Structure 1
């Protein structure tokens, strides 16, 4: 280790003596600091660490004894080595006084260089070793604290891990087992019994009995995995099913590792079983949802295609407006169904969404009990309502400020009966032929939902009664539009609409 220099403070009011001390002590290779008065020495001490103080006894203002007393009063310098130098013959009383003030030695004048260097060297080295020990002790304490913190963290992680394992076991999600390969003995913990749905002590845990608990289709795979241990495999992981005594099938993942003796033979196999049934069910639900979304997307696209191909209009602007209106209606019901994760739609919200553009003037009355519609029923009914409200806005009660529209419904024997009653609008005459809107309503309600659509063209206003079964629908695809397409194929012309 490189020599670590320490500070040696030389205190004397005579420059010649200070120079002499510097010459004598220079070969020690330490930092020599001179002070010509006690006050100057104190100023240096307050800012620096000092290994040894060499101080003259006889000085003006503060003599050596007074300076030593003041130095010792400071807690930082209570153990600092001080050597007195006296040019006069000192008595035993003076020596005793010096020692009481904190001196560790006396050096008489004339100074013997070898003696002074030897004394200073001893105290400087003692100071250096003391500081090294302090640093080593600090480092050791830091290491102990770091190691203690590391052990505490490790213990915390171990406790947390054990708590998670205990929670998993308590929840019946994880278990462990041990199999003596030599004599065939098995050991199951509490979690293993819970996974298999068996009360501890009610099953003789043997290889043959355990095999009966596995799903028949997975037994061969597990046998093959165990057989790999005889071929040198050290571990395996596989998914399998078990059949509980009550007939419930559960999915598990098993991990096992083999213990080998000095001859390379398997002596023991230990493993962990984790119940992953919930994960498997979630994966199945996700897969089902993906297929359902794909199916509904294809249906929506097919329905939009049918709307585009079957819509009739007198000009391009009318055609675009009609197509946009029908596709917007489809989008609205799609949004309602999406908010319910495609579980269904509440009829009041469905009706309100379709008539919302015309409800600001207070012309529309909506009344009926809460009814949850199946997705296919909601989608089809929304398009039928769109055709009715569009027709009413063009030719019926919603085309006049005095017109009124009442939409009411009730449920009888799992059948929805919705009444659409218009009054106060222009006089109504029964059309000589059914337009696209009317045929669309009839086709969607009767062909797709297996219901019935009745139109009463009264002079006072249209009454339409829709009867829809709530528990089943004939089809969830676009069959009504395909049927209408076949009926209109002959009427299609090169003109738009």
Structure 2
């Protein structure tokens, strides 16, 4: 699929090695930018947008570590992915130093072309997706600004018509008033009484009674307006809140104009009040929506980055397939949650989405009541189910036409119990060691959700039971994935 090319910066002081990297990475179809020294690399960074930096550790003048430190000091370059290439044996201390400087990976010499291409491709795609999300966020912000401008324009038109009392009464959300500055008499029209939630028959309009209906935090504005009219101000406008006798708080915007006598003294103040409560609520909803979209986009990207960073495999093809499978599982549950406006996901839809790619006809049987999962639980359970389906399709019941899979679930109190029962497939032997998929499943269910995962490696097929609480408040999804699996990865690689 055609896509926008990104810039990949290759930094090495040896032309032959730069030429080799160009040949290896040419098939990615990205823009390869060459720098023969650390200082030249810095100049390029200041002029161009770079997605990934491939840098040699050992260079004269500025080595790879020093260059990385200088790059990370600049706010604009703090999130650029940097991969170090080292022709010498790198110690754990050197690796730690590199990661502290912002490196995301090491590539030893001699370079394996397939490995280098795969690593660069992953981070180039992440950069591209990040830019795409930023564009989407910008579009959303533009729409919010446009809508806000429309609301402000609408308010301005309303304010222009507020002086016509008959329209104010008809609209029901506008009122007009008149205040005799000399003897203190007030006059309210029907719309004004309606806005303040009082009845003309029982409410006596005085300066004190009006002030009593103002929100306590806005009383000072009322006093300020009086003081300004006394010092020569001829017009005043402000937003304020009123607290009706029944306790309801309403937002209003008020405009007032003074009438002066021949000596320039105020004799009367007239004004219009507009109830803008609905507009305020709409603005709050729009702001909330913008924050929600921004949060979810960042969370989805962070979780994808966690999957890429924490997945392990013996070869490039297996690594790519594992990453794509887990991200696709995340995308499927994201679609389900989006359709529910992120209120939750039904477990049967979650399972059906995971088994859809296999097209296995009658090999799978589902049974259980309708259960609504909160978003964090749905995301975690989707990744766990993905691991079970993947393992079954490779080694278990779903790897043969004779195999059968029964998935059942039930709710007891605040706990969901899900049973995964395979039969009719290849002869099952208990594995000598847990694979990464099993470890990540255990870690996610037990550490993220506070549940339990039990495996019974029966000869006739795997029997797995997952128990998770339905009301547990979880951490953000990306933070869960890192926290739960990091320990398993350390033990697996140790």
Name the TM tier (shorter chain). 0.5 to 0.7
1:488 match: 489
| Secondary structure in structure 1 of the residue aligned to 2:361 | coil
Offset at residue 292 of structure 1 (A): 2.8
1:144 match: none
Offset at residue 212 of structure 1 (A): 1.2
| Paired residues of 2:439 and 2:488 also in contact (CA < 8 A) | no
Distance in 2 (CA, whole Å) between partners of 1:402 and 1:165 is 76
1:323 match: 323
Write the mapping of 1:231-242 to structure 2, written as runs, cut at 5 A.
231-242=231-242
- Structure 2: unaligned runs, 5 residues or longer: 1-160
1:410 match: 410
Q: Which moved more, 1:392-401 or 1:281-290?
A: 281-290
Offset at residue 166 of structure 1 (A): 4.1
Distance in 1 (CA, whole Å) between partners of 2:439 and 2:275 is 56
1:287 match: 287
Offset at residue 214 of structure 1 (A): 1.0
Distance in 2 (CA, whole Å) between partners of 1:279 and 1:407 is 49
| Paired residues of 1:396 and 1:425 also in contact (CA < 8 A) | yes
When residues 195 and 305 of structure 1 are mapped into structure 2, their CA distance, relative to the original with a 3 A threshold, is: same
Offset at residue 200 of structure 1 (A): 2.4
Deviation sequence 1:179-232 (CA, Å, 0-9, x none): 111111112222222222222222221101111111111111232133222333
| Secondary structure in structure 2 of the residue aligned to 1:212 | helix
When residues 243 and 326 of structure 1 are mapped into structure 2, their CA distance, relative to the original with a 3 A threshold, is: same
When residues 286 and 409 of structure 1 are mapped into structure 2, their CA distance, relative to the original with a 3 A threshold, is: same
1:259 match: 259
Q: Which moved more, 1:258-267 or 1:452-461?
A: 258-267
Distance in 1 (CA, whole Å) between partners of 2:285 and 2:262 is 49
| Secondary structure in structure 1 of the residue aligned to 2:214 | coil
Query: Which structure has the larger Rg?
Result: 1
Offset at residue 296 of structure 1 (A): 2.6
2:442 match: 442
| Paired residues of 1:306 and 1:482 also in contact (CA < 8 A) | no
1:424 match: 424
Deviation sequence 1:412-437 (CA, Å, 0-9, x none): 21322222221111111222222221
| Paired residues of 1:443 and 1:481 also in contact (CA < 8 A) | no
Alignment of 1:355 with 2:368, yes or no, is: no
| Secondary structure in structure 1 of the residue aligned to 2:420 | strand
1:307 match: 307
Distance in 2 (CA, whole Å) between partners of 1:338 and 1:315 is 35
Count of residue pairs brought into register by the alignment: 331
TM-score, normalisation: structure 1: 0.63
1:373 match: 373
| Paired residues of 1:408 and 1:418 also in contact (CA < 8 A) | yes
Offset at residue 390 of structure 1 (A): 0.9
Distance in 2 (CA, whole Å) between partners of 1:468 and 1:489 is 25
When residues 279 and 322 of structure 1 are mapped into structure 2, their CA distance, relative to the original with a 3 A threshold, is: same
2:480 match: 479
Distance in 2 (CA, whole Å) between partners of 1:350 and 1:416 is 14
- Structure 1: unaligned runs, 5 residues or longer: 1-157
Q: Which moved more, 1:477-486 or 1:332-341?
A: 477-486
Alignment of 1:383 with 2:386, yes or no, is: no
TM-score, normalisation: structure 2: 0.63
Deviation sequence 1:451-490 (CA, Å, 0-9, x none): 2222222111112222222222342332343242234236
1:249 match: 249
Offset at residue 164 of structure 1 (A): 5.9
1:337 match: 337
Distance in 1 (CA, whole Å) between partners of 2:204 and 2:475 is 55
When residues 471 and 167 of structure 1 are mapped into structure 2, their CA distance, relative to the original with a 3 A threshold, is: farther
Distance in 2 (CA, whole Å) between partners of 1:444 and 1:279 is 43
| Paired residues of 1:178 and 1:186 also in contact (CA < 8 A) | yes
Offset at residue 448 of structure 1 (A): 1.5
RMSD: 2.2
Deviation sequence 1:316-335 (CA, Å, 0-9, x none): 11110110110111111111
Q: Which moved more, 1:285-294 or 1:372-381?
A: 285-294
When residues 409 and 302 of structure 1 are mapped into structure 2, their CA distance, relative to the original with a 3 A threshold, is: same
Offset at residue 491 of structure 1 (A): 4.8
| Secondary structure in structure 2 of the residue aligned to 1:362 | helix
| Paired residues of 2:303 and 2:481 also in contact (CA < 8 A) | no
When residues 244 and 318 of structure 1 are mapped into structure 2, their CA distance, relative to the original with a 3 A threshold, is: same
Which aligned segments of 4 or more residues in structure 1 are displaced greater than 4 angstroms?
A: 161-164, 490-493
Write the mapping of 1:115-154 to structure 2, written as runs, cut at 5 A.
none
| Paired residues of 1:455 and 1:462 also in contact (CA < 8 A) | yes
Distance in 2 (CA, whole Å) between partners of 1:456 and 1:379 is 25
